[in-house]
Every structure is written in structure tokens, then in C-alpha cells.
Amino acid sequence: MATTDRLIICEHCDSVYEKVVLAKRQKALCQRCGAVIQRYNGMTVQQRLALALTATVLWIFANFYPVMSISLQGLKNSATLWDSVLALSDGPITFMAMVAAIAMIIAPIIQLALLIWVLLFALTNRRSPGFAPCMRWLETLRPWSMLEVCLLGAMVAVFKLAGMLDVLPGIGLIALAVLSILLIKVAGRDVRDLWDTL
Amino acid sequence: MNSPPFASELNLCLCHSCGLACDMTGHPHQCPRCNAPLHMRKANSLARTWAYMLAALVFYIPANVLPVMNTVMLGSGADSTIIGGVLEFWEHGAWDIALIIFIASIAVPGIKFVAITLLLVTAQRGSQWACRQRSKLYRFVELIGYWSMLDVIVVALVAALVKFQALGDIEPRAGILFFGLVVVCTMLSAMSFDPRLMWENRHSEEVMDEARSH
């Protein structure tokens, strides 16, 4: 088994390579199909953990402060992410409310919780209890966490309503913007590196 | 330049969960490192991809025909479809927003249908045509995957905000359910497809090429 550790298989065409050491900003491409097979990642465990904790705080801001508020002839209203999930939950379209809740709220926070759990133990060079299932869930959740889409959606909504009434972007929107960037940085594919280093 | 060996030639299998190259001697069913099930190829890849894609194609019709939201402003109500929303922005001169919504809601699912069908048909025929480009196309389909959720999120936010009873009220309508289902089904479809199928007949081809060059 030990010998296969140095090998890397391209997931798009099944070509086998030996791992290489990459310098800053370098990435390795598959000769056969052109997919990225290795990417340089300079973040230490401490840095990742710091970013993950920051992201968690931002998640709280993004969820408990309104994403935006509107006013129409003196009437005011504001909505958080959860409010928009609830808006979908009426009537026959409830299923979409579940998808939206997973994509905007649940998947990101589970990703962050798993990440922090795994990284806390990684600080002392140990694998956390339940390391394998945690890492597999991180892998499974990634495509369903759609904060960057959510951010663009919120911005489109601002423009959509700006024509009819006054719109004020809220704290939640700013938190969402930073959170979506952090999550890409911290919960991306290179989480897998932990398998090799621990 | 020597072409790299295929995993199957070395009796190796990629673990999709942790990326380990697993030694397949003794036919293990699980990755020794992370315990995820091992498959040389994704199970029933072609059938699943077809099924999810056709389901998405069916949902695509009501998604575009049925209204996605209902706007009541000062007593007068109107249903709007996705295309209607795009046209409205366009007419008000907000061509950039119109373009974003058009790309995310209409172009992206459309491109995905065409691209996945192309990938499926060529993979089924064992075609050797433009393998590299087709691999690139698959990665592109994966990349654009979830951006179509945009409209669902816009409708949800707008409906949550505009709640002023008679003065103004926006409610989501059934169209958004089908639209969301299109997005989920196309995502599942792209995930079920195994891009390695494109390269399967490549083995013999490359061996022949090498033989010829000697």
C-alpha cells in the first residue's frame, strides 16, 4: 500500500502520475485531458482555522442581520436569509424551501463546523474522532453550498426592487459577501490535503 | 513525450472521496483510508445521467411556462415568468441585470442540456473525437452547475421583503419549484456522468500510435 501514496490519479481520465512538489501559485495539469490534478496550497492549519472561525462569525451575522430592507410610502420591511426560505415554504413549493435552506444556510454551517472540528485536532497533528466521515461529508456538501450564488441573487434582488421602492442593503449582505469568499478559500478542494499530512 | 499510464493498467482505482490511489489487488470494496466505496467507474453512469437530464428537460417546460412569482402593486396583480422578468429589466434599460438573469436562468440550463447530451452520445458511441475538448466541456458543465439557482434565491428574497398587504405583495408561484428542480436534476446529472468513459478506448489507440512511431 505504501507505494501508492505518492501516486495521483486524474479524476477526469484515469491517468496516473507521481506527485510533485509545487512552488507558489503553481498547479499541475494532466497531460492527457488538461484537468488540474494538483494545486499549490500555502495555508497552514492555523491560518485555515482562523479563517474558518472568522467565517463562522460572519455566518452568524449573515443569518441574524437582515440581508436588506425596503421602504414603501413610510412602511418598512426587512428580510434575513431565513425569512426568504420561509417565503418559499408556503403552498406546493415547499420542497424548494428545503433546497434553498440547505444551499444558503445549512450546508455552509455544517461545512464550517466539520472543518473547525477537523482543524482543531489537526493543530496537534492528530486526526479528530470521526475524521473519515467528517472529510467525506465535507466532500459531499461542497457542491450544495451555494453562498456565492446567494450573494449574486441578493444583488440582483436589490436591483429588481430598486425600481419600485427604496432598497437598503443590510449588514447581512456585507457579511454574506465576505463569507462566500472565505468559504471558497477554506472549504475548497484542498481540504483533502489533510489526508496526506495527518 | 510518453503518455502516462491509465489507472486500470496498473490495477489502481481512484477514491473519489479522499483522492487516494487504491491498489485493487484483492478487489477491495472500500477505500482503505477513508472507507468510501470504491468504483472503477461511477455506477450506471450513462443511465443515471440520461435519467436526470431527461427529468430536468421535462421540468424545464413548466419552469418557463408557469409564472415564477406574482406581484401585487396597489391593488393590481400580475404573474411574471422568468423570460418576462428578463424582458422587464431589458425594457427598463437595465440590460446588464437582464443579461445576468438571462445567462443564469435560460442560457446555463440550455447549455447544460446540449453539452450533457453531446457528452452522453459521444461516450456511448465510444467516440475518439476531441477527447481533450470534451473533457474541458465536462469541467465547464460542472463549473456552471449551480449558478442557475440564482433565480430561486432572487424570488425567495423578493417575496420575503415585499409584504405590505394591499399596498404591495409578492408571492412565489409554482414555476419556481420546477425551475429549482431543473437545477437540482442537471446538477445530479453532471455528477453522475463519468468523464473517464471518454478515454476508455484510448488505450488501444495510444498503443497503436506508439507502435507506429517506432
* Domains and their CATH numbers in chain A: 1-40 (no CATH), 43-197 (1.20.140)
Nearest chain A alpha carbon to B158: A157
Is residue A167 predicted with pLDDT exceeding 50? yes
Q: Do B4 and A17 touch (CB under 8 A)?
A: yes
Q: What is the pLDDT at residue B71?
A: 86
- Which residues in chain A have their CB less than 8 angstroms from residue B147's CB? 149, 152
Side chain identity, residue B78: A
3-class secondary structure, B73: strand
- Which residues in chain B have their CB less than 8 angstroms from residue A176's CB? none
Most B CBs within 10 Å, among A1, A6, A7, A9, to test the B interface: A9
pLDDT level of residue A52 (50, 70, 90 thresholds): very high
Q: Tell me which residue in B161, B180, B198 faces A70 most closely, judged by beta carbons.
A: B161
- Which residues in chain A have their CB less than 8 angstroms from residue B41's CB? none
Q: Do B3 and A32 touch (CB under 8 A)?
A: yes
Q: Do A93 and B158 touch (CB under 8 A)?
A: no
Q: Do A11 and B33 touch (CB under 8 A)?
A: no
Domain identity same for B16 and B105: no
Residue A150 bridge partners (DSSP) = none
Domain identity same for B205 and B133: yes
Domain identity same for B16 and B82: no
- Average confidence (pLDDT) over B99-115: 90
C-alpha distance from A30 to closest chain B C-alpha (Å): 9
> In whole angstroms, what is the distance from residue B120 CA to residue A101 CA?
32
Does this model's pTM top 0.90? My answer is: no
C-alpha distance from A83 to closest chain B C-alpha (Å): 6
Non-local CB neighbours of A79 within 8 Å, separated by 6+ positions: A66, A67, A68, A69, A87, B157, B160, B161
Inter-chain contacts counted by CB atoms under 8 A, chains A and B: 219
Exposure letters A36-75 (e unless 16+ CB within 10 A, then b): ebbeeeeeebeebbebbbebbebbebbbebbbbbbebeee
- Average confidence (pLDDT) over A106-122: 94
List, for residues B52-72, the tens digit of each pLDDT value. Answer: 999 999 999 999 999 998 888
Domain identity same for B47 and B14: no
The total of structural domains in chain B comes to: 2
CATH number of the domain within which B61 lies: 1.20.140
Domain identity same for B6 and B107: no
Residue B103's domain spans which residues?
42-213
**Which class for A80: exposed (0-12), middle (13-18), buried (19 or more C-beta within 10 A)?**
buried
Q: Do A149 and B154 touch (CB under 8 A)?
A: no
**Which class for A141: exposed (0-12), middle (13-18), buried (19 or more C-beta within 10 A)?**
middle
List, for residues A141-163, the tens digit of each pLDDT value. Answer: 998 999 999 999 999 888 888 87
Domain identity same for B5 and B97: no
C-alpha distance from A93 to closest chain B C-alpha (Å): 5
State how beta strands A27-29 and A68-72 pair: unpaired
Alpha helices by DSSP H, B42-149: 45-65, 82-91, 95-101, 108-124, 131-144
Domain identity same for B7 and B73: no
Domain identity same for B87 and B97: yes
ipTM entry: 0.88
| pLDDT above 70: percentage of residues in chain B | 93
List, for residues B117-155, the tens digit of each pLDDT value. Answer: 999 999 888 888 888 889 999 999 988 888 888 889 999
Is residue A32 predicted with pLDDT exceeding 50? yes
Q: What is the pLDDT at residue B209?
A: 62
Q: What is the pLDDT at residue B202?
A: 64
Q: Do A11 and B160 touch (CB under 8 A)?
A: no
Q: Do A77 and B145 touch (CB under 8 A)?
A: no
Q: Do B19 and A8 touch (CB under 8 A)?
A: yes
3-class secondary structure, A42: coil
Domain identity same for B58 and B154: yes
- Which residues in chain B have their CB less than 8 angstroms from residue A17's CB? 4
Is residue A59 predicted with pLDDT exceeding 90? yes
